[in-house]
């Protein structure tokens, strides 16, 4: 099976994605697979509201490019819709990106986490 592009921000393909969620809910937990909280990412009509992304080990230079892209309040994002398996485009902004350095190897980020929120307003 070939690698499918999951996320493109302003023309830059984002690699090293270890967690990607654009579905209606996230249900995680020990053994049961569920926790009491349910994180809704789509509105009632199925339009995308937000995308949660976690990147794995990333070189600092690549990580800084991504973090700089996330500063744009009107970034154009192509994402793979998990329900239709097609690339869709939205305009969005990033909420509070988090990063951690790999201990002992400061040339790498251990993780980069961020949430992309749609700029589209719904009534």
- Angle (CA) 26-110-4 rounded to 5° is 55
- In order of 59, 84, 123, the CA distances from 65 in angstroms are 10, 29, 35
State if pTM tops 0.85: no
Backbone angles phi, psi at 78, to 5 degrees: -105, 130
Backbone angles phi, psi at 106, to 5 degrees: -70, 0
Tens of pLDDT, residues 62-83 = 999 999 999 999 999 998 877 7
Average pLDDT, integer, range 49-62: 89
């Amino acid at each position: 099976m070939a690698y499918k592009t999951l996320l493109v921000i302003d023309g830059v393909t984002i690699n090293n994605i270890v967690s990607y969620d654009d579905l209606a809910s996230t249900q995680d937990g020990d053994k049961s697979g569920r926790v009491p909280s349910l994180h809704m990412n789509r509105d009632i009509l199925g339009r995308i509201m937000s995308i949660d992304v976690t990147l794995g080990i990333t070189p600092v230079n690549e990580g800084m490019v991504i973090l700089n892209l996330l500063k744009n309040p009107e970034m154009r994002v192509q994402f793979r819709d998990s329900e239709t398996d097609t690339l869709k485009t939205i305009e969005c902004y990033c909420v509070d990106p988090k990063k951690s350095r790999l201990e002992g190897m400061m040339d790498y980020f251990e993780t980069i986490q961020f949430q992309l929120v749609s700029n589209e307003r719904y009534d």
